[in-house]
Chains A and B, each alone.
Chain A
Amino acid sequence: MHRKAEALLLETRRHFFGRCAVGLGGLALAGLLDRQLFADPKPASPLAPKPTHHPARAKRVIYLFMAGGPSQLELFDYKPKLHEYNGQPIPDSFLKGKRFAFMDSFTKEPPKLLAPKRKFARHGQSGAWVSDLFPHLGGIVDDLCIVTTVATNVFNHAPAKVFMNTGSAQFGRPSFGAWLTYGIGSEAEDLPGFVVLQSGPRGPRGGSACWSSGFLPTAYQGVPFRTTGQPLLNLANPPGVRPQCQAQTLDAIRELNLRRLAETGDPEIATRIASYEMAFRMQTSAPELIDLSSETRETLELYGAEPGKVSFANNCLLARRLVERGVRFVQLYHTNWDHHGGPGEDLEHSLPAVAREVDRPCAALITDLKRRGLLEDTLVIWGGEFGRTPMGENRETTGRNHHIDAFTMWFAGGGIKGGQTVGQTDEFGFAPVEDRIHVHDLHATLLHLLGLDHKRLTFRFQGRDFRLTDVHGEVVRKLLA
């Protein structure tokens, strides 16, 4: 009875593949109609895998976003000189022409240098400095490329997060994950290509702007996954709808839509049919994904994951499960790293607490990916939207202010040269003295590892070819294996 529709599909096949630019389209169409209808097994869909510009070293990304701005001076960038100068005003030459968040706290009195609060030691064969807040990471340091000289442009949380994600402090631009899925699609058949996970006391400042598709089609937008209850909004059938009823409903919708397709010849209906198919599959695949009960006790313990909890540890394990299923870009937000010294944000207790929450899971993720052979083509990124000042900021206790000139991020996996610390900051950790690496350079480098030339990954909007790196960005060769 669908002969007419099928004939029409054949007829408009070329048209369909050429035009179906928006929607998850053809992925599932083959499951819907006789596969033989289509000589080409991969009809054009916005999330279908696409060729890279050059051979890729990494095929997917797990981005551990430490929201709030972790203090590099208590974690990675060891500055013994700060002990010597503790409590002394920072020389004016450092501050000239500089601007900071909470400026008034620095203009009331000259800001004073603050000694690191933690003990540091060298770790691994590479002898990288890591503080006692990260004992587990210290154990896998030879897999990491630690960069102590990352620089950004903006020093307020929301614009800085948006900048780190989109290369622009202006809201409304596409994020890294959106650019990547736009550029090379996804290999996930039953899940979105770009998934966002959240842990910690609150969501990241900036909200959906951090994983926005901006002016790219919304198919490339990051999809937030909840890790308890229903992972996706509206994933569960309405109350009272049994699986059989849902299947019968979808059958009826599909058949009536096919008739309409035959009637109108509009290939957009074929995409709609495919979207419903994929939605139906997601209803099974997404709950299966977040159900950690199939993981071994050993794995759960490795991460410190507890099924049913909202935690960074669970999210790290979920990230591995997501990339195993072909998801292209997984971004984990963990709050709160904003240690100004106020209540709940001090360097003495709050920082160690949040460090403890991430240390073991991060190390476990690297270990787990490695033993499953996934690390070699999975890029793992760790870092916040900026770092913190060498000078103390006096609130209830002495904390540190936002700092954009030099802060630490680390990278591991696909194409990254591990076992090295790149960059050298001055004796106070204020600014890079060598290897300053700007956010735009990082974006260029990461895209390069993913097989994309940051200058060629463009989208025309309002008369201009936009890129993730705007008009900047150099690939940093030192980071590459």
Chain B
Amino acid sequence: MTRPALICILLLLGSTSAPAIGQAAEPVDYEKQIKPLLARHCYVCHGALQQKAGLRLDTAAAIRKGGDSGPAVVPGDSARSLLFQAVSGAEDVTPMPYKRPRLSEADIGLLRRWIDAGCTAPENEVVDEALSRKYAHWAFLPPVRRPPPDIKASDWVRTPLDRFILARLEAAGLAPSPEADRVTLIRRLSFDLLGLPPTPEEVSDFVNDPAPDAYERLVDRLLASPHFGERWGRLWLDVARYADSHGYSIDAPREIWKYRDWVIAAFNADLPYDRFVVEQMAGDMLPNATLEQRIATGFHRNTPINMEGGIDLEQFRIDSVYDRVETTGTAFLGLTLTCARCHDHKFDPISQREYFQLFAFLNNCDEPTLDIASPDLIARRDALRSQIRVLEEEQNKYYLDKLSRMSEAEKSRIKPEIIAILSLGVEQRDEKQKQAVVEAFKDDPAVVERARTIGELKKRMPKFPTTLVLRERTKPRETRIHIQGDFTRVGEAVSPGVPAVLHPLPSVPQPNRLTLANWLVDPANPLLARVTVNRIWQTYFGKGLVETENDFGTQGEPPTHPELLDWLATEFVAQGWSQKAIHRLIVTSAVYRQASRHRPELTEKDPNNRLLARQNRLRLDAELIRDAALRASGLLQTKIGGPSIFPPQPEGVYRFTQLQKTWNTSTGPDRYRRGMYVHFWRSAPYPALQVFDAPDGVNCCTRRNRSNTPLQALTLLNDEAFLEFAQALGRRLLREALDNDAERIALAYRLCLGRAPSAEESDRLLQFVRQQRESFRQHSAEAITFAGQSESDKADAGETAAWVALARVVLNLDEFITRE
């Protein structure tokens, strides 16, 4: 391989001069035309930070002086200038920029003309270090698509991706792992694409499919499933910090599930990612914005809202704009903009001023609630609402008057919780609390009568969904820098703008949120495609090609396979930003299809499996553990979308919250819907989700932790919801398998793990079932309770309980909650 240092030596050996073709004599401006192009293409190696081959090109004087091999230019003679020869691809010269794309013909022409005109530049030019820094970091430069490398074991390769992976493995002297068996493959694919395990029929169909394209057809079928949008939509909701409550101290419920539905539908329809981004950032501002596009702006309405008494609303509005700026940075740019809120970023070229220029784009929205109903219905609702409001205020005033007239003795008879409720404003009380107060004053006919009227009005209230959206203000707010991020200390005013280190903003007269959205999806953006494909990759392998998936800045980890990352990023754009195209590409690759078994020699050479000589075993995400148990037990309700659900949860969850939450446990089909629909209270999340590392719905989450704790064991063993799954699975085994212990155990394994048990596993479980049968027959009361048997059920309770016990074992296996 040619070293760049050789270039100058080679250049001295002789050069062929390209004849100067007649050209317009328009003078070239060094500052405006030459310096920017040199900065972009050359400064990374030949600027203020690095001077490869002793050469720097960041001032005209330095260019004339040259490096280890002499002057880089001969003023007036481009053909004899090393710089020109290198960029124009003269023979025997290492082409520059080194290992990066060639300059455009226009740029090459500019350089030639500048050199031929004598390399004129302003006197006393000073080094602009910032310019070098800007172009010194890989992630700020556009991705470069290089052909996949040559490899030896080409029969292993299934997609271009595999060549990149294999090249590194071969260089490290490692062989990839064999392809996983078919059962593992379909289970892996089903979890990864749908978040659900395959049914035993799906497994056997695939295992017995002799067609050479059986795998690819399976992939296509799964990508077309409406559950795909649930699985990948939920991961996006992590990024969007989705929750069903406002957060902070009051943590009142909110309605924004229409946004969740939008996300699911967008993934299912494979909405091109550029539109996916634009509609969420600024769907309301698109020409003739549709209802769906306005719903999409719920993305930035997932910020918490503080409803505590006595607060300064502006403070928390500004906090939510900070959150929007920073989430935009994390989600679409992989940049840690937060650092620049209080001061210039310490490591990345982002100034505090630039932070607030981004802030200025997002500082001009109102935050309305969108009614999803006809205008008539809305008007009727509004009228009723104001009637109720008047009555409730009247009622409240009545309570307070009454209270103030009471003697201490009388007052002391009122429960403290009622007093506490009355200390809240009417709008801060939930229905339960209002009811409790009426109850406390139920001897007063005036109270009861008013409550009855309110109740009547409420019954007449038309019901329709609403959702939270953004709406741009006609008159923008002024944005000023907040000194040290403190909202009370304002500095100079700034106009909307983007960090200079990135591609320029399209020039429009009045840049607004839509301009920012369009800027994000500009193909010139070096980050968006990389950050996105990296997150997709991370989901399939546990870690991204860039391990710091939320930091592509200078403090982040460099990519393990930079060429692969760039290839995928450019492919993503080339495929019209189709996410499904990237999914298909990755899951059909040989690297994805490998077995995940640990190999001792890899443990030595690549302990963190960064080279991917095997797949990784991954514990399922929180929601998927519920989903897998629902499917295995046969309880799963596959309805997609709609309002959130309230499956059983343990007693006592709200003993640690300020306000008691409502949790009316779902009894109908909603009880058995997927984990992603479980109502998410920010101050007290559903325990079975929280314990398995579901994100908190407060911060933009781009990667979940995978912890492994005793509280998880307690959940799977003892939680009411999981017991119900075990009971249903136990009954299913009795119902669906042949009347034979071994058959039932085999069915349990196929339902839960996709595979048949080994002889040893089967023996161990046969022993367990016999043990339990005997024991439960001796303790029939316990058997009836544990099996959840109703009185009318005439089945042998001991037998049922034994199978429920067995189901409970299988649902607790590490393998059950793991994607192999």
Q: Kindly list chain A residues whose C-beta atoms are within 8 Å of the C-beta of B599.
A: 265
Q: Assess whether A241 is in contact with B813, with CB atoms less than 8 Å apart.
A: no
Q: Assess whether A156 is in contact with B786, with CB atoms less than 8 Å apart.
A: no
Q: How far is A100 from B75 in the complex, measured between Cα atoms in Å?
A: 68
Q: Assess whether B705 is in contact with A205, with CB atoms less than 8 Å apart.
A: no
Q: Assess whether A253 is in contact with B416, with CB atoms less than 8 Å apart.
A: no
Asked if B556 is an interface residue, CB under 8 A from chain A, the answer is: yes
Q: How far is A333 from B656 in the complex, measured between Cα atoms in Å?
A: 9
Chain A 84-120 interface mask (CB, 8 Å, partner B; 1/0): 0000000000000001011100000000000000000
Chain A 1-25 interface mask (CB, 8 Å, partner B; 1/0): 1000000000110010011001111
Provided the pairs A19-B607, A171-B247 are in contact, do residues A12 and B598 lie with their beta carbons within 8 angstroms? yes
Identity of the chain A residue whose Cβ is nearest the Cβ of B797 in the assembled complex = A240
Q: Kindly list chain B residues whose C-beta atoms are within 8 Å of the C-beta of A343.
A: 403, 419, 422-423
- Give the contact stretch, choosing among A176-184, A195-203, A447-455: A195-203
Provided the pairs A207-B251, A462-B551, A463-B555 are in contact, do residues A218 and B654 lie with their beta carbons within 8 angstroms? no
Q: Assess whether A463 is in contact with B683, with CB atoms less than 8 Å apart.
A: no
Provided the pairs A198-B655, A208-B683 are in contact, do residues A158 and B698 lie with their beta carbons within 8 angstroms? no
Q: Assess whether B779 is in contact with A242, with CB atoms less than 8 Å apart.
A: yes
Set B319, B718, B814: member contacting A257, Cβ < 8 A:
B814
Asked if A268 is an interface residue, CB under 8 A from chain B, the answer is: yes
Q: Tell me the chain B residues, 329-358 only, with Cβ under 8 Å from chain A.
A: 330, 336, 338-339, 347-348
Asked if B658 is an interface residue, CB under 8 A from chain A, the answer is: yes
Chain B 643-657 interface mask (CB, 8 Å, partner A; 1/0): 000000011111111
Q: Assess whether A282 is in contact with B786, with CB atoms less than 8 Å apart.
A: no
Q: Kindly list chain B residues whose C-beta atoms are within 8 Å of the C-beta of A291.
A: none
Q: Which of A18, A246, A260, A278 has the most CB of B within 10 A?
A: A260
Identity of the chain B residue whose Cβ is nearest the Cβ of A11 in the assembled complex = B600
Q: Kindly list chain B residues whose C-beta atoms are within 8 Å of the C-beta of A224.
A: 655-656
User: B779: shortest Cβ distance to chain A, in Å?
Assistant: 7
- Give the contact stretch, choosing among A228-236, A357-365, A375-383, A410-418: A228-236
Q: Kindly list chain A residues whose C-beta atoms are within 8 Å of the C-beta of B651.
A: 229-230
Asked if A255 is an interface residue, CB under 8 A from chain B, the answer is: yes
Q: Assess whether B814 is in contact with A265, with CB atoms less than 8 Å apart.
A: no
Q: Tell me the chain A residues, 215-249 only, with Cβ under 8 Å from chain B.
A: 215, 217-219, 223-224, 226, 229-230, 232-242, 244-246, 248-249
Q: Assess whether A249 is in contact with B248, with CB atoms less than 8 Å apart.
A: no
Q: Assess whether A212 is in contact with B709, with CB atoms less than 8 Å apart.
A: no
Q: Assess whether B760 is in contact with A259, with CB atoms less than 8 Å apart.
A: yes
Q: Assess whether A462 is in contact with B420, with CB atoms less than 8 Å apart.
A: no
Q: Kindly list chain A residues whose C-beta atoms are within 8 Å of the C-beta of B813.
A: 253, 256-257, 260
Asked if B42 is an interface residue, CB under 8 A from chain A, the answer is: no
Q: Kindly list chain B residues whose C-beta atoms are within 8 Å of the C-beta of A226.
A: 652, 655
Set B617, B690, B771: member contacting A264, Cβ < 8 A:
B617
Asked if B553 is an interface residue, CB under 8 A from chain A, the answer is: yes
User: B628: shortest Cβ distance to chain A, in Å?
Assistant: 16
Q: Kindly list chain A residues whose C-beta atoms are within 8 Å of the C-beta of B782.
A: 240-242, 245
- Give the contact stretch, choosing among A269-277, A315-323, A431-439: A269-277
Q: Kindly list chain B residues whose C-beta atoms are within 8 Å of the C-beta of A232.
A: 711, 714
Q: Kindly list chain A residues whose C-beta atoms are within 8 Å of the C-beta of B771.
A: 248
User: A480: shortest Cβ distance to chain B, in Å?
Assistant: 30
Q: Kindly list chain A residues whose C-beta atoms are within 8 Å of the C-beta of B785.
A: 239-240
Identity of the chain A residue whose Cβ is nearest the Cβ of B691 in the assembled complex = A218
Q: Assess whether B708 is in contact with A206, with CB atoms less than 8 Å apart.
A: no
Q: Assess whether A23 is in contact with B707, with CB atoms less than 8 Å apart.
A: yes
Provided the pairs A15-B607, A224-B656, A269-B814 are in contact, do residues A201 and B708 lie with their beta carbons within 8 angstroms? no
Asked if A57 is an interface residue, CB under 8 A from chain B, the answer is: no
Asked if B210 is an interface residue, CB under 8 A from chain A, the answer is: no
Q: Assess whether B656 is in contact with A239, with CB atoms less than 8 Å apart.
A: no
Q: Which of A201, A215, A463 has the most CB of B within 10 A?
A: A463
Asked if A279 is an interface residue, CB under 8 A from chain B, the answer is: yes
Asked if A402 is an interface residue, CB under 8 A from chain B, the answer is: yes
Identity of the chain B residue whose Cβ is nearest the Cβ of A257 in the assembled complex = B814
Asked if A345 is an interface residue, CB under 8 A from chain B, the answer is: yes
Set A203, A223, A263: member contacting B657, Cβ < 8 A:
A203
User: B331: shortest Cβ distance to chain A, in Å?
Assistant: 12
Chain B 757-783 interface mask (CB, 8 Å, partner A; 1/0): 010110011001001100110010111
Q: How far is A229 from B696 in the complex, measured between Cα atoms in Å?
A: 27
Q: Tell me the chain B residues, 346-392 only, with Cβ under 8 Å from chain A.
A: 347-348
Asked if B619 is an interface residue, CB under 8 A from chain A, the answer is: yes
Asked if A352 is an interface residue, CB under 8 A from chain B, the answer is: no
Q: Kindly list chain A residues whose C-beta atoms are within 8 Å of the C-beta of B309.
A: 101-102
Q: How far is A187 from B402 in the complex, measured between Cα atoms in Å?
A: 55
Q: Assess whether B308 is in contact with A158, with CB atoms less than 8 Å apart.
A: yes
Q: Assess whether B698 is in contact with A171, with CB atoms less than 8 Å apart.
A: yes
Q: Assess whether B420 is in contact with A201, with CB atoms less than 8 Å apart.
A: yes
- Give the contact stretch, choosing among B149-157, B264-272, B804-812: B804-812
Q: Assess whether A462 is in contact with B330, with CB atoms less than 8 Å apart.
A: yes
Q: Kindly list chain B residues whose C-beta atoms are within 8 Å of the C-beta of A11.
A: 600
Q: Kindly list chain B residues whose C-beta atoms are within 8 Å of the C-beta of A288.
A: none
Q: Assess whether A156 is in contact with B403, with CB atoms less than 8 Å apart.
A: no
Asked if B85 is an interface residue, CB under 8 A from chain A, the answer is: no
Q: How far is A226 from B653 in the complex, measured between Cα atoms in Å?
A: 9
Identity of the chain A residue whose Cβ is nearest the Cβ of B784 in the assembled complex = A240
Q: Assess whether A212 is in contact with B249, with CB atoms less than 8 Å apart.
A: no
Set A24, A101, A237, A279: member contacting B311, Cβ < 8 A:
A101
Provided the pairs A266-B617, A344-B419 are in contact, do residues A275 and B650 lie with their beta carbons within 8 angstroms? no
Q: Kindly list chain B residues whose C-beta atoms are within 8 Å of the C-beta of A101.
A: 309-311
Q: How far is A157 from B765 in the complex, measured between Cα atoms in Å?
A: 54
Identity of the chain B residue whose Cβ is nearest the Cβ of A102 in the assembled complex = B310
Q: Assess whether A265 is in contact with B597, with CB atoms less than 8 Å apart.
A: yes
Can you list 28 A-B contacts with CB-CB less than 8 angstroms, sorted by A residue number?
A12-B598, A24-B708, A103-B310, A157-B308, A159-B248, A171-B698, A171-B699, A202-B657, A206-B683, A217-B705, A218-B705, A218-B709, A219-B707, A232-B714, A234-B718, A236-B718, A240-B783, A241-B782, A245-B805, A248-B775, A249-B805, A260-B814, A260-B815, A278-B713, A336-B420, A463-B347, A464-B336, A464-B555
Residues of B within 8 A of A (CB): 247-251, 304, 306, 308-312, 319, 330, 336, 338-339, 347-348, 403-404, 416-417, 419-420, 422-423, 488, 548, 550-551, 553, 555-556, 596-600, 603, 607, 617, 619, 650-659, 682-685, 687, 690-691, 693, 696, 698-699, 705-715, 717-720, 723, 758, 760-761, 764-765, 768, 771-772, 775-776, 779, 781-787, 801, 805, 808-809, 812-815, 820
Besides the known contacts A245-B772, A263-B597, 19 further A-B residue pairs in the complex with CB atoms under 8 A apart: A15-B603, A23-B707, A102-B309, A102-B310, A201-B417, A203-B657, A207-B657, A209-B683, A218-B690, A226-B655, A233-B719, A245-B775, A256-B765, A256-B813, A257-B813, A260-B814, A265-B597, A265-B598, A271-B708
